Amino acid sequence: MSYFDYQGCQLHYEEYGHGAPLLLVHGLGSSTLDWEYQIPALSAHYRVIALDVRGHGRSAKPRERYSIAGFAEDVAALIEHLRLGPVHLVGISMGGMIGFQVGVDFPQLLKSLTIVNSGPEVKARKPADYLMIAQRWTLSRLLSLERIGKGLGGILFPKPEQAELRRKIEQRWPRNDKRAYNASLDAIIGWGVREHLDRITCPTLVITADHDYTPIAIKEAYVKELPNARLVVIADSRHATPLDQPERFNTTLLDFLAEVERPEKT
């Protein structure tokens, strides 16, 4: 368990293994625990660094307005703090948005980018989008974190045999700071870097669940806008793919990373 200070905020991160640096960035309302089924497999081959984003986990939760650009600056500061050089960055959901922002603002810091169940913008394009965003914003204010966690557990892990995963979400979600959670949600709404995707030239892997919140077609569309990207669909999975399909996720990621590393070893 390690910490570093950046712009007056104490940020928590964890390190495992040795090798090329691999940085893991979790989603909204989560923490380094997002990666509990990845760290053992990945750290056998890489130096794995898992970050608690500002306002989450063991990191400080300053009472301020958050932004995806600000989260990306925190990631860049951690890379500089540890003198990692270019890293393999893997981000899920909000962590994927942070990954996109890092790729746009700090492309020199990325050796590769893996985006999991995420996208390069959260902008309303049609009436249904405005309604969905308004509902989520309102419910995040009205409902307790306990209620949100219970509802989320049922959405992410609906199968009877996924009871243990549901229990984990129900236990973890109330640990969030409600103000920081809402500030992070506010940072997501209206954010976007889609018009700058051409800046992300590193090898990019987009992983999507077949039952993610947004359709596969949306990922297919933005993958075409990235200079060096491919899409992999993982079947029988929802938004928390690293948790509900860890073996397939780990194999997919490790195969991609090995391919990126291979040219440098020849």
- For residue 53, tell me if it sits in a domain: yes
- For residue 181, tell me if it sits in a domain: no
Q: Which residues of the chain have pLDDT under 70?
A: 263-266
Cα-Cα-Cα-Cα torsion 125, 117, 14, 264, nearest 10 degrees, comes to -110
From the list 202, 219, 214, the residue with the least C-alpha distance to 263 is: 202
- For residue 201, tell me if it sits in a domain: yes
Measured distance CA(145)–CA(151) in Å, rounded: 10
pLDDT tens column, 188-244? 999 999 999 999 999 999 999 999 999 999 999 999 999 999 999 999 999 999 999
User: What does the DSSP 8-state code read for residue 122?
Assistant: -
- For residue 164, tell me if it sits in a domain: no
Could you tell me the residue range of the domain that residue 98 belongs to? 2-122+192-265
Cα distances from 191 to residues 69, 73, 81, 117, 120, in angstroms, run: 9, 15, 27, 16, 8
Determine the Cα angle at 68 with ends 66 and 69, to 5°: 100
Query: What is the tally of structural domains in the chain?
Result: 1
Cα distances from 35 to residues 134, 165, 219, 222, in angstroms, run: 30, 13, 22, 25
- For residue 15, tell me if it sits in a domain: yes
Return the biggest CA–CA distance within the chain: 56
Predicted confidence at residue 41, as pLDDT, reads 98
- For residue 132, tell me if it sits in a domain: no
In this structure, what CATH number is given to the domain that contains residue 11?
3.40.50.1820
- For residue 173, tell me if it sits in a domain: no
Measured distance CA(83)–CA(156) in Å, rounded: 36
- For residue 139, tell me if it sits in a domain: no
Measured distance CA(224)–CA(258) in Å, rounded: 23
